Amino acid sequence: MRKLKTAYELVEAYRNGSLDPVEHAWRVIEEIGRWEGRVNAYITLEAPEAIIIQAEEARERYRRGEHRPLEGVLVAVKDNISTSFMPTTAASRMLEKYIPPFNATVVERLVRAGAIVVGKTNMDEFAMGSTSEFSAFGPVRNPWDLERVPGGSSGGSAACLAYGGCDLSLGSDTGGSIRLPAAYTATVGIKPTYGLVSRYGLIPYGNSLEQIGPMARSVKDAALLLEVIGGWDPRDSTSLRIDPPKLSNLEPLEPGEASLCVPREMVEGSEEPVAKVFWNLMGKLESEGFEVLEASLPEVSKALPAYYIIALAEAASNLARYDGGLYPREDVEAGDYWRHVAEARARGFGWEVKKRIVLGSYALSEGYRDEYYIAATKVRRLVRDAVLRLARKCIIASPAAPILPPRLGERITDPLLLYAMDVYTVVANLAGVPALAMPAGFSQGLPVGVQFMAYRLGEDLLVRLGLTVEEMTGLRGVAAGEG
């Protein structure tokens, strides 16, 4: 284990002149050179010269005292978030050469805050997966153990943080894609309240569920990044009409300010080592004076099937836009329209994506719609109501994932085993509430993550609790590797 500077500490050091942004940029470029061949966290990397030119500009701004909140900070962006200056493939052959004509709102805000985009990160194709193995560009590996997966679908965004190949990153979370990778790599990730962060420019998978969110090596860093990207965007009709949240200067939560509750259904299925680390942390919180209550959320047992029906139905309708024409592929000849479409899809989509289109279309089809899609939306309402009821009283705590990071190939052969990894995370997406995942400890040298869920727009509470937990575990700024 190594300790690396957090983004917050970097900005501090740039400001007081104890570190030079150009020197730091070189160091990160070197780390990328050392690790990338093994980890495969990036699909596209910015040229080193381009990174250095921007770092030199940052240095100038610090010198003149004109620095912005993320001046000179190196940020990695998940490859389903549109950038007009780099390809945006969503890890699919279908979009292999696609360069969007515009930036996502979050990217605009990053650039305006002085951040340097280092590259686009590897992921499961169209964000469909939990391990980052379903990428057309090869799987991502976990820097803590290269035989294991980093979680998905934002695995690249987590892995580059975990080896020091970026200072901050952006992920997207439809059913856990920020939190699962955070849990598996000892990093921090937040799935914001639905509508807090603009989805404009996010390649859609399950629109009613997903949010872009921050990933970082400390809670304060994640808060800082969320503050930069959050707040109303007129270009996203589901965006909440509120100002960016104020999160970067919060104090740790004190006992008595909020209590925690652990729904039995959100721990009992966890494997031994995970449960042990989780309860150990809850015990520490209790001994600090926090109230940790037992609770029950029986609706959780229906959350996973409901999530997968809704997500796949939305995916099937979203992916209908890829007909090989609007986003053309060069290897498919023009001619008969339907033959052309079929060929483009056969070649452009990976196996998991095809499977989900078929299942989603089935769930929406005449005669089955009521039994599947409509039924799932009713379950969603039940889950949402139950979560909101509980979250009004306490911060809901659970492990972020029921198992330790699996080995490559271990889970993807059995879809039900693969989908089961998301049991604790999909709940927040169905309910639209915010959730934070962060390191709770280690077991057998592998990271174990904890998840906290709050009421809608309770990001401040989550950040404050996160700061408290971070002080207790000391797991801030940790990275894989020796030194």
Angle between helices 48-64 and 21-39 (to 10 degrees): 150
Q: Which is nearer to ligand GLN, 306 or 332 (CB)?
A: 306
Measured CA to CA, the distance from residue 428 to residue 425 in angstroms comes to: 6
The least distance separating ligand GLN from the CB of residue 424, rounded to whole angstroms, comes to: 12
Q: Which residue has the tokens 């090989």?
A: 324
Angle 232-238-239 (CA atoms, 0-180°, nearest 5)? 10
Q: Which is nearer to ligand GLN, 54 or 154 (CB)?
A: 154
The least distance separating ligand GLN from the CB of residue 337, rounded to whole angstroms, comes to: 30
Q: Which is nearer to ligand GLN, 21 or 156 (CB)?
A: 156
Measured CA to CA, the distance from residue 127 to residue 122 in angstroms comes to: 10
Longest distance between any two alpha carbons in the chain, whole Å = 71
Q: Which is nearer to ligand GLN, 35 or 322 (CB)?
A: 322
**Contact map string, positions 143 to 182, toward ligand GLN, x by CB under 6 A:** ----------x-------------------xxxxx-----
Site for ligand GLN in 196-215 (CB under 6 A): 205
Q: How many CA atoms lie within 13 A of 157 on its CB side?
A: 39
129 binding ligand GLN? (CB under 6 A): yes
The least distance separating ligand GLN from the CB of residue 10, rounded to whole angstroms, comes to: 28
Distance (Å) of CA 38 to CA 186, 215, 366, 404: 19, 21, 47, 21
Quick one: which of 77, 80, 87, 79 has its CA closest to 109? 77
103 binding ligand GLN? (CB under 6 A): no
Residue 306, number of CB atoms within 10 A of its CB: 22
Q: Which is nearer to ligand GLN, 429 or 468 (CB)?
A: 429
* Torsion sign across C-alpha atoms 55, 58, 59, 60: positive
The residue within the footprint of ligand GLN, chosen from 46, 233, 422, 470 (CB under 6 A), is 422
The residue within the footprint of ligand GLN, chosen from 32, 128, 310, 461 (CB under 6 A), is 128
130 binding ligand GLN? (CB under 6 A): yes
Of 26-34, 127-135, 326-334, 394-402: span binding ligand GLN (CB under 6 A): 127-135
Query: Which residues participate in catalysis according to the annotation?
Result: 78, 153, 177
Judging by DSSP bridges, how do beta strands 116-121 and 74-78 pair with one another?
parallel
E strand map for 265-409:
292-295, 395-399
Q: Please give the DSSP secondary-structure letter assigned to residue 8.
A: H
The residue within the footprint of ligand GLN, chosen from 90, 311, 404, 440 (CB under 6 A), is 311
127 binding ligand GLN? (CB under 6 A): yes
72 binding ligand GLN? (CB under 6 A): no
Report residue 41 as tokens.
């966290």
The least distance separating ligand GLN from the CB of residue 171, rounded to whole angstroms, comes to: 9
Residues that bind ligand GLN (CB under 6 A): 127-130, 153, 173-177, 205, 311, 422
